[in-house]
Structure 1
Amino acid sequence: MTPEKRPMISETLARRALLVTVLSNLSATAIGQDLFVESKESIVDQSLLVSVPFDGTLIGDYDAKTNSDGTQTRPGLFGGSGNLPVEYSAVFAIDSPAVQSQPSGLITIDAIDIADGILGIDGFEFDVLSGGSVPVGVDLAIVLQTFRTYSPFSIYPGGFEIPIPLPSGTILSLVIRSASPADVLVSPVGDTYEFDSVLPGIIAVEIDFGAGTQAFDFPFLVPFAGTLEIGASETVLMLSSEVEAGGDQQVEFPPFEQIPLELPTFPPGDETAGVLLGGTITSVAATADLSVQIIASGQTSQNPADFNDDGIVNGADLGFLISSWGVCIGCPEDLNFDGIVNGSDLGLFIAAWTG
């Protein structure tokens, strides 16, 4: 028995079904877009203080084969022989002076519900240094157990902090990015929308302070105020933020070892004791002050049912469709391209409605 043939969907109906799908998708994303930071028109003033506590052992840089004149260390005031490790605790302090930069990056918005006073912030990422780096001062404050050195001879009483200036470090990257999508309330003011909100963010830092590159992420709240203008061809976002953020983070870095360090002798003189530092970093604390002024823009996404190009499919566009009702070859209101504006186009229009 020959199977009964199913009726084939007409080509016109298939085209209309496809168009409904396309318009529906457009209506959901028509105004969702990436806005790219205008670096030449954006400014970030920033300062950053990072404290890195750690502990471990140090030992003289003496080596019988390669550095026989090097320093030997021995715990305590008396006894012992050879080159022995000494326990310590310390803090690296990385202080970035106030620096002004022109950031790069983007912010992704979703304005589908903007007529209801809601702007979606799908995400943002601002590279504060725009791919560059900043030299920073690095200081080491170290607390030692009592020990002595030979070549040169010196006694180091334990229990108090010894400040040791180090060569400068480098902030390799400083990025502000969103922690999660969020909605903000907006108010229409003329041709723009104004907003003032707080968004969850992360400050991501990469620093080299002499022990190799280390990366840290610090969660914080980002206060944002600004305006959004959705034009016929371009969407422009202007925002400002004043951030004072700080926090501690537990980290799991591999131990470092044999970092050379020159200790001043006691009593002070012209000589230094050469030691090799080894230890483990378990936490990082940071404080950041940021003043952000950003302008971001992008081409306005187009919806074929947005006849007046205001970024919204609403009653105003419905008026255009009704005024073109009937035979209308080549009209933008003829959404299914059949030369007639009628109920079929109205159905497609309703599917693209954004409010």
Structure 2
Amino acid sequence: MKQPDDVRTLLKKRFAGKHREWLVAGDPSQQWPLVIPLGPPSEAEALKQVDAVRDWASVWRNWSGEGDVKWVERRWRLLGTQRLPEALHLDGPRAVCAWIGELDRWRIAERRFQDLCQRWPQLALTASRLFNVLADFEDADFQRLLLALDWLEANPRSGLYPRQLPIAGLDTKWIEPRKGLLAKLLAGIRKLDGNGEDFHSLSGLESLPAVVQVRLLDPVLRARCGGLRDFSAPVEQLAGMSLEPTTVLVVENLQSGLALPDMPGTIALIALGYNVDVLSRIPWISGCRGIYWGDIDTHGYAILHRARCHLPQLQSLLMDEATLLQFSSLWTKEADQCAAEDLPLLQPAERIVYQGLRDHRWGHCLRLEQERISWQLVLLALGIPR
């Protein structure tokens, strides 16, 4: 015997699994009404709980919410004729959403979905997968989104930088966190699957040059660059230099990289993050000894794995289980863990820590940031006398 709370729980699950399909459905008659059986008891079951059955029937008799309660008449030998609620019929998504407190969001998402599909009918499938965006965007942001798509579709090869777009309210700060969304929608408009297409190739906008922060840790190398110790350069310009180091040290944290002392034949490439793909574009480091030092968290290992795709000789520094456990008092939380189940280029000891972090073996979403590690231990690991 389903109570309203039971129906609500069921409808929340149904909504979670079906709302995208409901948005894009062309013929509502194919899916509606949605029939929720209320589970009327048999006479044998009713005899064991007469009061409960009476109360249950009363709840549905007095129900004034969304939906049409269908009743069934049962002629029982001992309890006589009883009229019981048999099923709840809901005539569309709005009725479901009214039950679960999602009606306002549904109306907004439905209206915006229709706005998009009126302009670009081919967007129906793509847009249906973006329910949260459609439901939760501020009105001003959604209007900017439409203006951006209109302009980018009309000017597919503009070659402008984002800040140059002649659209009110659109600048780099607005576009940067929405690149993925814009790329999905542009791919949908052009009937592309989106695989292998990045935001800049889809939008026709110019990307900023990849700039690499470099620290020269050897006086001999500095002399070749007019005495410069620290500089940033576009990767294309950096690739054209011929520094000929023997060791390249990839360091994730900026301050950790800037604190490094001199090391013979060594350069540090600092704070690349997931942009470690640039390593493949600097030919004169391909034969160097490589060291990677990053945070002990899931993204640190994911970046290490990605860097090894381009510099397979990279060895990790202080990213082992012993270091993690030694500084347990300095652990913090990783907001969003890397989703990859396996990173095959990790070495066995690294993979153990990565899986342990994902499995929360030592705590929920913990991390050890590299700058929290004792500097004396860092120098020792680098082979530098204290």
Which TM-score bucket, shorter chain as reference?
Answer: under 0.3
- Give the TM-score normalised by structure 1: 0.20
Q: Would you tell me which structure has more strand in proportion to its own residues?
A: 1
- Give the TM-score normalised by structure 2: 0.19
Q: Would you tell me which structure has more helix in proportion to its own residues?
A: 2
Higher relative contact order (CA 8 A, sep 6+): 1
